[in-house]
Structure 1
Amino acid sequence: MALNERLYVVAYDISDRRRWQRVFNIMKGYGAWLQLSVFQCRLTPRRRVEMAMKLEQAIHHGDDHVLILDLGPADKVELKVESLGKTFQKLERKPHII
Protein backbone atom coordinates (compact mmCIF):
# COMPACT_ATOMS: atom_id res chain seq x y z
CA MET A 1 0.00 0.00 0.00
CA ALA A 2 1.40 3.38 -1.00
CA LEU A 3 1.98 5.48 2.11
CA ASN A 4 1.95 8.74 0.17
CA GLU A 5 -1.50 8.36 -1.40
CA ARG A 6 -4.01 11.11 -0.80
CA LEU A 7 -7.78 10.98 -1.17
CA TYR A 8 -9.32 13.34 -3.71
CA VAL A 9 -12.79 14.16 -4.94
CA VAL A 10 -12.81 15.41 -8.52
CA ALA A 11 -15.91 17.18 -9.81
CA TYR A 12 -16.29 18.73 -13.22
CA ASP A 13 -18.66 20.80 -15.31
CA ILE A 14 -17.93 20.34 -19.01
CA SER A 15 -20.00 22.29 -21.53
CA ASP A 16 -19.50 20.03 -24.55
CA ARG A 17 -20.74 16.39 -24.68
CA ARG A 18 -17.62 15.06 -26.47
CA ARG A 19 -15.25 16.81 -24.06
CA TRP A 20 -17.36 15.55 -21.14
CA GLN A 21 -16.97 11.99 -22.45
CA ARG A 22 -13.21 12.51 -22.84
CA VAL A 23 -12.91 13.79 -19.25
CA PHE A 24 -15.09 10.91 -17.99
CA ASN A 25 -12.83 8.38 -19.73
CA ILE A 26 -9.71 10.01 -18.26
CA MET A 27 -11.21 9.92 -14.78
CA LYS A 28 -12.17 6.23 -15.04
CA GLY A 29 -8.44 5.53 -15.09
CA TYR A 30 -7.85 7.37 -11.82
CA GLY A 31 -10.76 6.68 -9.50
CA ALA A 32 -14.24 5.46 -8.73
CA TRP A 33 -17.24 7.09 -10.35
CA LEU A 34 -19.62 8.41 -7.69
CA GLN A 35 -22.12 10.47 -9.66
CA LEU A 36 -22.55 12.01 -13.11
CA SER A 37 -19.47 14.25 -12.92
CA VAL A 38 -17.89 13.25 -9.61
CA PHE A 39 -15.06 10.79 -8.92
CA GLN A 40 -13.32 9.63 -5.74
CA CYS A 41 -9.59 8.99 -6.23
CA ARG A 42 -6.66 7.62 -4.20
CA LEU A 43 -3.55 9.04 -5.83
CA THR A 44 0.17 9.32 -5.29
CA PRO A 45 1.61 12.78 -6.01
CA ARG A 46 2.86 11.53 -9.38
CA ARG A 47 -0.54 10.13 -10.43
CA ARG A 48 -2.27 13.33 -9.28
CA VAL A 49 0.00 15.46 -11.48
CA GLU A 50 -0.46 13.02 -14.38
CA MET A 51 -4.25 13.19 -14.01
CA ALA A 52 -4.26 17.00 -13.84
CA MET A 53 -2.09 17.25 -16.97
CA LYS A 54 -4.46 14.99 -18.93
CA LEU A 55 -7.48 16.97 -17.73
CA GLU A 56 -5.76 20.28 -18.66
CA GLN A 57 -5.33 18.99 -22.20
CA ALA A 58 -8.92 17.72 -22.47
CA ILE A 59 -10.84 20.79 -21.33
CA HIS A 60 -11.51 24.24 -22.81
CA HIS A 61 -10.38 26.66 -20.13
CA GLY A 62 -12.94 29.35 -20.96
CA ASP A 63 -15.92 26.97 -20.99
CA ASP A 64 -15.17 24.06 -18.64
CA HIS A 65 -14.41 23.71 -14.93
CA VAL A 66 -12.68 20.93 -12.97
CA LEU A 67 -12.35 20.93 -9.18
CA ILE A 68 -9.80 18.68 -7.47
CA LEU A 69 -10.53 18.54 -3.74
CA ASP A 70 -7.69 17.17 -1.58
CA LEU A 71 -9.20 15.43 1.47
CA GLY A 72 -5.86 14.42 2.97
CA PRO A 73 -3.79 11.26 3.46
CA ALA A 74 -5.84 8.36 2.08
CA ASP A 75 -5.15 6.00 4.98
CA LYS A 76 -5.92 8.60 7.65
CA VAL A 77 -9.03 10.30 6.28
CA GLU A 78 -12.17 9.32 8.14
CA LEU A 79 -14.86 9.96 5.57
CA LYS A 80 -18.09 11.28 6.96
CA VAL A 81 -20.50 11.02 4.06
CA GLU A 82 -24.25 11.31 4.23
CA SER A 83 -25.70 9.45 1.28
CA LEU A 84 -29.36 9.64 0.33
CA GLY A 85 -30.64 7.06 -2.13
CA LYS A 86 -27.95 4.74 -3.46
CA THR A 87 -25.32 3.46 -1.06
CA PHE A 88 -21.98 5.29 -0.97
CA GLN A 89 -18.93 3.04 -1.04
CA LYS A 90 -15.59 4.22 0.30
CA LEU A 91 -12.76 3.69 -2.19
CA GLU A 92 -10.49 0.92 -0.95
CA ARG A 93 -6.92 0.40 -2.09
CA LYS A 94 -6.65 -2.46 -4.60
CA PRO A 95 -3.74 -3.62 -6.74
CA HIS A 96 -3.93 -2.65 -10.42
CA ILE A 97 -2.22 -4.79 -13.03
CA ILE A 98 -0.92 -2.76 -15.94
Structure 2
Amino acid sequence: MPRRRYLIAYDIADPRRLRHVCTLMEDHGRRLQYSVFVCDLSPAELAELEAAVTRTIDLTADSIVRIDLGDTTSPATITTIGSRRRFPPTGPQIV
Protein backbone atom coordinates (compact mmCIF):
# COMPACT_ATOMS: atom_id res chain seq x y z
CA MET A 1 0.00 0.00 0.00
CA PRO A 2 1.47 3.42 -0.91
CA ARG A 3 2.40 5.77 1.89
CA ARG A 4 1.47 9.44 1.88
CA ARG A 5 3.17 12.34 3.63
CA TYR A 6 1.03 14.41 5.99
CA LEU A 7 1.66 17.58 7.91
CA ILE A 8 -0.25 17.31 11.20
CA ALA A 9 -0.65 20.17 13.66
CA TYR A 10 -2.58 20.26 16.90
CA ASP A 11 -3.89 22.67 19.52
CA ILE A 12 -4.82 20.87 22.73
CA ALA A 13 -6.27 22.79 25.70
CA ASP A 14 -5.55 20.32 28.53
CA PRO A 15 -1.94 19.43 29.53
CA ARG A 16 -2.75 15.73 30.11
CA ARG A 17 -4.44 15.36 26.70
CA LEU A 18 -1.62 17.38 25.14
CA ARG A 19 1.01 14.94 26.45
CA HIS A 20 -0.98 11.97 25.20
CA VAL A 21 -1.46 13.45 21.70
CA CYS A 22 2.21 14.43 21.59
CA THR A 23 3.20 10.83 22.40
CA LEU A 24 0.90 9.51 19.66
CA MET A 25 2.45 11.93 17.17
CA GLU A 26 6.01 11.03 18.19
CA ASP A 27 5.13 7.37 17.60
CA HIS A 28 3.89 8.11 14.06
CA GLY A 29 6.06 10.93 12.72
CA ARG A 30 8.84 13.43 13.23
CA ARG A 31 8.48 16.78 14.91
CA LEU A 32 8.85 19.75 12.59
CA GLN A 33 7.91 22.43 15.10
CA TYR A 34 6.46 22.39 18.62
CA SER A 35 2.96 21.17 17.68
CA VAL A 36 3.62 20.23 14.05
CA PHE A 37 4.68 16.80 12.80
CA VAL A 38 5.50 15.30 9.41
CA CYS A 39 4.22 11.74 9.11
CA ASP A 40 4.65 9.20 6.31
CA LEU A 41 1.67 6.89 6.77
CA SER A 42 -0.12 4.05 5.04
CA PRO A 43 -3.94 4.26 4.97
CA ALA A 44 -4.10 1.78 7.89
CA GLU A 45 -1.59 3.78 9.96
CA LEU A 46 -3.50 6.99 9.28
CA ALA A 47 -6.78 5.38 10.37
CA GLU A 48 -5.12 4.02 13.53
CA LEU A 49 -3.64 7.42 14.41
CA GLU A 50 -6.88 9.30 13.77
CA ALA A 51 -8.88 6.81 15.88
CA ALA A 52 -6.42 7.11 18.78
CA VAL A 53 -6.42 10.91 18.58
CA THR A 54 -10.22 11.04 18.41
CA ARG A 55 -10.46 8.88 21.55
CA THR A 56 -8.01 11.21 23.35
CA ILE A 57 -9.08 14.76 22.53
CA ASP A 58 -12.05 16.82 23.66
CA LEU A 59 -13.84 17.52 20.36
CA THR A 60 -15.30 20.76 21.76
CA ALA A 61 -12.00 22.25 22.99
CA ASP A 62 -9.13 20.72 20.96
CA SER A 63 -8.27 20.61 17.28
CA ILE A 64 -6.09 18.61 14.91
CA VAL A 65 -5.25 19.75 11.37
CA ARG A 66 -4.06 17.21 8.78
CA ILE A 67 -2.66 18.41 5.45
CA ASP A 68 -2.01 15.80 2.76
CA LEU A 69 1.35 16.57 1.12
CA GLY A 70 1.08 13.75 -1.39
CA ASP A 71 2.71 10.45 -2.16
CA THR A 72 6.06 9.92 -0.45
CA THR A 73 7.69 9.24 -3.83
CA SER A 74 6.99 12.83 -4.90
CA PRO A 75 5.88 14.88 -1.88
CA ALA A 76 4.80 18.50 -2.12
CA THR A 77 7.43 21.21 -2.07
CA ILE A 78 7.76 22.86 1.34
CA THR A 79 9.40 26.26 1.65
CA THR A 80 10.87 27.58 4.91
CA ILE A 81 11.31 31.26 5.71
CA GLY A 82 13.73 31.93 8.55
CA SER A 83 15.50 29.18 10.47
CA ARG A 84 15.63 26.08 8.28
CA ARG A 85 14.00 22.89 9.51
CA ARG A 86 15.23 19.40 8.71
CA PHE A 87 12.56 17.36 7.02
CA PRO A 88 12.47 13.62 7.56
CA PRO A 89 13.70 11.44 4.70
CA THR A 90 11.04 9.69 2.67
CA GLY A 91 10.27 6.01 2.93
CA PRO A 92 10.40 3.51 5.76
CA GLN A 93 12.91 4.06 8.55
CA ILE A 94 14.39 1.53 10.93
CA VAL A 95 14.68 2.91 14.43
Same fold per superposition (TM over 0.5): yes
* Structural RMSD (CA): 1.5
Determine the C-alpha separation between the residues in 2 that align with 1:78 and 1:37.
Answer: 20
Code of the aligned partner of 1:18: R
> Any conservation in 2 of the 1:42–1:91 contact (CA below 8 Å)?
no
SS in 2 for 1:29: helix
Please tell me whether residue 90 in structure 1 is matched to residue 92 in structure 2: no
* Superposition misfits of 4+ residues, deviation over 4 angstroms: none
Instruction: Name the CA distance, whole Å, in 1 between partners of 2:94 and 2:8.
Output: 20
Identity over the aligned pairs, expressed in percent? 28
Q: Residue 80 in 1 paired to residue 54 in 2?
A: no
The residue correspondences of 1:23-38 to structure 2 (distance < 5 A) are 23-38=21-36
Number of corresponding residues: 94
- Mapped contact 2:70–2:76 kept (Cα < 8 A): no
CA deviation vs aligned residue, 1:21-47 (integer Å, no higher than 9, x gap): 110000001000111110000001110
Q: TM-score by structure 1 length?
A: 0.87
| Structure 2 alignment gaps of length 5 or more | none
Superposition pairs of residues 1-98 of structure 1, within 5 angstroms: 4-85=2-83, 87-92=84-89, 93-96=91-94
Unaligned runs of 5+ in 1: none
Taking structure 2 as the reference length, what is the TM-score of the superposition? 0.90
How far apart, CA to CA, are the structure 2 residues paired with 1:78 and 1:58? 29
